[in-house]
A and B are shown apart, each in its own frame.
Chain A
Amino acid sequence: MNLEIILHAGLATGTILLFAAIGEIFAERAGVMNLGVEGMMLLGAMAGFSTSLATQNAWLGLIMAIFAGGILSLAHGLVTIHFQADQVVSGLSLTFLGTGLALVLGEGLTGQNPPLIPNVSLPILASIPFLGSVFFTNHSILVYVGYLFIPLTWYYIYKTRPGMHLRAVGEKPSAADTLGINVYRVRYFYVFVGGCLAGLAGATISLSVSPGWYSSQTTSGQGWIAVAIVIFAQWNPVRAAVGGYLFGMLRRFILDLQGPALLFGFQNPIFMNHNLSFFLQMTPFLLTIVALVWGSQAAMRKRLGSPAALGIPYIRGERGL
């Protein structure tokens, strides 16, 4: 049980959630809820892992993972944007589709050792006491990419023209349409972006943070946590990053609790009783539920939060939209 290790590991696993949650934020900001994050992540994890194995190049694997997530998300785009079907149903089906595809195509990958995304320490920054070793030492390159992602996506959403259009399409698509913004194109684009980032999140697992292919255990429900984080974060990438890192740290903390036989000089009850540890592993999900409930209530109180057109297909000229 070491604070530095918990924080360090939390940042690494939190990066997975960060990518997936920010991707979902993009899609939902455009008005399309995609509950298929888990499926897209798993497909990304598989595609990245097997490509890296086949080409012996982890970066090609990463690109393939992004591509796989993106392509799968277009299926959701087609069904919900073009055919205007229910987004929840389509998203859930996408999870099944993605998971199924990944499991079939990932047959035989378990136990293989492809090249991975390297870990590096940042010069100078790493020598800052404590913070340096938590934030800038021996992390996957993707963790640093995650750091950069937070301000960049925030700036993009709130301070740029395409970000402005993105928010408009998710809040009031009819207004965007009457000003000549192509609502369908914007929605397709950000659903695709969301898929790409989910794929990236998947590869972040399989090629970097906890490398390997363990079939559906590879993602083990993190896609769902990412969806919860989006709500908890009120569609704000900075809050999503904080949420992602906190969840990551919590996971590590729970893992650490189970390890030692002695905890703070006392007998560790969890070490003695394995049933207890199952309950412990449940806590992130319990917390997810709490966050979901709390987040949505807080959002209701403040009348902010969810993009107003989230979940509603856009049809030009339809009354009451």
Chain B
Amino acid sequence: MSSISNQPSPPLAVEMHDIVIRFPGVLANDHVNLTLKRGEIHALLGENGAGKSTLMNSLAGLYKPVSGVIKVNGEVVNFNSPRDAISKGIGMVYQHFMLVPTQTVTENILLGLKEPRFFVNLSIYNKKIQALQEQFGLRVDPSAQIWQLSVGEQQRVEILKTLYRGANILILDEPTAVLAPQEIDDLMKTMRRLVEQDKSILFITHKLNEVTAVADRLTVLRKGKVTAEGIGIEGVTREKLAELMVGRKIIFQVDKKSQKPGEVVLEVKNVSALNNKGFPALKNVSINLHQGEILGFAGIAGNGQSELAEVITGLRSCSGSIKINGKQVANQPPGKSIDIGVSHIPEDRTGVGTAPNMSITENTIMKNYDQEPIGNRWKINFTSAREYATRLKDKYEILAPSISTQARKLSGGNLQKLILAREISCCPSLMVAVQPTRGLDVGAIEAIQNLLLEQRENGTAILLISEELEELLSLCDRIAVIYEGELMGVVEAADANLTNIGLMMTGSMRSQA
């Protein structure tokens, strides 16, 4: 056997060589190379669908490469299941969390382990896990059930899960996509602490500022191929990185035309509502929104933004008055606001935004299936439905094998484009968009933001709920800040002060205006 054992330097933590992975119709990884040094944070970048998760899943034992060699700590490995990878010290935090919502933190961490053998005395293990938490500064109540935890806490559970198994190579698949800014900072701190304790980390992200903040080197994938292999982060610019990822230049400045807002479209007056758990989520909120205006809602997740979107679109009952174009929609069925022309880009793209098991065609006609020419009273004309879907797919550049592809097979960016395509086409007067760019790559974000601005120019009133202050500042005309269901203030985006918005988001300040 040929070997490279005459090298004196310590073996690399991970060495992936010439990896090829295929899915039906897609070459997800095309001869990919990747190396991870011991004690480093290595960023893996790429657009949605570039093949990052696929590559990492093969390192975690979930997929088997068609060809290629994987070495862990210098030793060639051949994983048949996640269990094999775990035994070699590899721990993966998946993009979509792998947690059992109805079990406690401790139960989730213990799943699949040999010990405890049969009887599970949770209190003993709660203590063990608390000790582990101290060591790495990952705080979360071990006896809480997963569904009670915030996304950030759930992520900590995922990391604890790998650490409890003694992982020394951690893979974090887009860990920041679901986090609020504060939580992202915490995660970065955790990552640094982990490498201090001799762990090595592979970190998938889209965002350059995160890369420069923590990573030592980076690798970029585009359409399954490596476009930059293990380069140092010094001197890498945002523009250069975007070009490596997308294959074309990205202009980070959005092109917002100045225009005068028109008449009032949305009139929210003294609206209060409860959240799913029965606690007050909105307290006496009043606000107006005009034609051709983008009104941003800033706030830390869970402060009533989702509920606000739901009461306007008829998905949640409330007290108070909500008028759209002069018509009362509060406590009316969603069908009514659809008829008035309200479009909704929901936060939950697979649960609310689409029917994941239905085709692109079926998903595009969901709001106008009963209108000519697609449908009449009792039947759907699938020929014109397919024409309609094809038109939208082309116009909005939705990348998918065909219009009969199931929605759940689309990547995040394309799924979001599908939702926008449907909503823009059906309901032009008011758009309620919740976190429309969350978790998307630069190319998709650019596309979505441009679509929103285009709608603004067409005179649509847009309510934009986002946690990305930068996005709000660049897109919005006005920004409202919400904290614990209360409106803390509304500021003009042009003369907004970031510090003040931050203070209002945490409830420490209220604008007088």
Chain A positions within 8 Å of B, measured between CB atoms, are 159-162, 164-165, 167-168, 171-172, 174-181, 303-304, 308, 316-317, 319-320
> What are the residues of chain A within 8 A of B119 when measuring CB–CB?
159-161
- B315 to chain A minimum Cβ distance, whole angstroms, is 16
**Residue B103 lies at the interface, judged by CB distance under 8 Å to chain A:** yes
- B360 to chain A minimum Cβ distance, whole angstroms, is 14
> What are the residues of chain B within 8 A of A172 when measuring CB–CB?
98-101
Within 294-308 of B, Cβ neighbours of A (below 8 Å) are at: none
- A185 to chain B minimum Cβ distance, whole angstroms, is 12
Within 347-395 of B, Cβ neighbours of A (below 8 Å) are at: 350, 356-357
Contact with A along B135-173 (1 / 0, CB 8 A): 000000000000000000000000001000000000000
CA distance A164 to B112 in the complex (A): 9
Q: Which partner residue on chain A sits nearest B84 by CB separation?
A: A180
- Is B408 within 8 A of A164, CB to CB? no
- Is A320 within 8 A of B350, CB to CB? yes
- B353 to chain A minimum Cβ distance, whole angstroms, is 13
- Is A175 within 8 A of B99, CB to CB? yes
User: Can you spell out 24 A-B residue pairs with CB atoms less than 8 angstroms apart?
Assistant: A161-B116, A161-B117, A161-B118, A165-B111, A167-B100, A167-B102, A168-B107, A171-B101, A171-B102, A172-B98, A172-B99, A176-B111, A177-B82, A178-B60, A178-B62, A178-B98, A179-B112, A179-B113, A180-B81, A180-B86, A180-B112, A304-B102, A316-B62, A320-B356
**Residue B120 lies at the interface, judged by CB distance under 8 Å to chain A:** yes
Q: Which of B83, B103, B350 contacts A180 (CB 8 A)?
A: B83
**Residue B483 lies at the interface, judged by CB distance under 8 Å to chain A:** no
Q: Which of B98, B101, B110 contacts A174 (CB 8 A)?
A: B98
Q: Which of B94, B101, B110 contacts A178 (CB 8 A)?
A: B94
CA distance A165 to B103 in the complex (A): 11
List the 8 closest A-B pairs by CB distance, nearest first: A180-B83, A179-B112, A320-B408, A175-B98, A172-B100, A180-B112, A171-B100, A168-B100
> What are the residues of chain B within 8 A of A176 when measuring CB–CB?
100, 111-112
Contact with A along B275-290 (1 / 0, CB 8 A): 0100000000000000
CA distance A162 to B114 in the complex (A): 11
CA distance A172 to B145 in the complex (A): 14
Taking A171-B101, A180-B112, A320-B356 as known contacts, 14 extra A-B pairs with beta carbons closer than 8 A to each other, sorted by chain A number, are: A160-B118, A161-B118, A161-B120, A165-B112, A171-B103, A175-B100, A175-B111, A180-B83, A303-B276, A308-B102, A317-B57, A319-B409, A320-B350, A320-B408
Q: Which partner residue on chain B sits nearest A320 by CB separation?
A: B408
> What are the residues of chain B within 8 A of A177 when measuring CB–CB?
62, 82
CA distance A168 to B118 in the complex (A): 16
> What are the residues of chain B within 8 A of A317 when measuring CB–CB?
57, 62-63
- Is B92 within 8 A of A168, CB to CB? no
- Is B120 within 8 A of A159, CB to CB? yes
> What are the residues of chain A within 8 A of B118 when measuring CB–CB?
160-162
> What are the residues of chain B within 8 A of A179 when measuring CB–CB?
82-83, 86, 98, 111-113, 161
CA distance A177 to B100 in the complex (A): 12
- B416 to chain A minimum Cβ distance, whole angstroms, is 15
- Is B103 within 8 A of A164, CB to CB? yes
- B330 to chain A minimum Cβ distance, whole angstroms, is 23
Given A159-B119, A179-B111, do A167 and B408 touch, yes or no (CB 8 Å)? no
> What are the residues of chain A within 8 A of B120 when measuring CB–CB?
159-161, 164
- Is B82 within 8 A of A180, CB to CB? yes
- Is A164 within 8 A of B107, CB to CB? yes
> What are the residues of chain A within 8 A of B103 when measuring CB–CB?
164, 167-168, 171
- Is B111 within 8 A of A181, CB to CB? yes
> What are the residues of chain A within 8 A of B357 when measuring CB–CB?
320
> What are the residues of chain B within 8 A of A165 when measuring CB–CB?
111-112
Q: Which partner residue on chain B sits nearest A179 by CB separation?
A: B112
> What are the residues of chain A within 8 A of B408 when measuring CB–CB?
319-320
Within 14-67 of B, Cβ neighbours of A (below 8 Å) are at: 57, 60, 62-63
CA distance A161 to B119 in the complex (A): 6
> What are the residues of chain A within 8 A of B101 when measuring CB–CB?
171-172, 308
> What are the residues of chain B within 8 A of A316 when measuring CB–CB?
62
- B94 to chain A minimum Cβ distance, whole angstroms, is 7
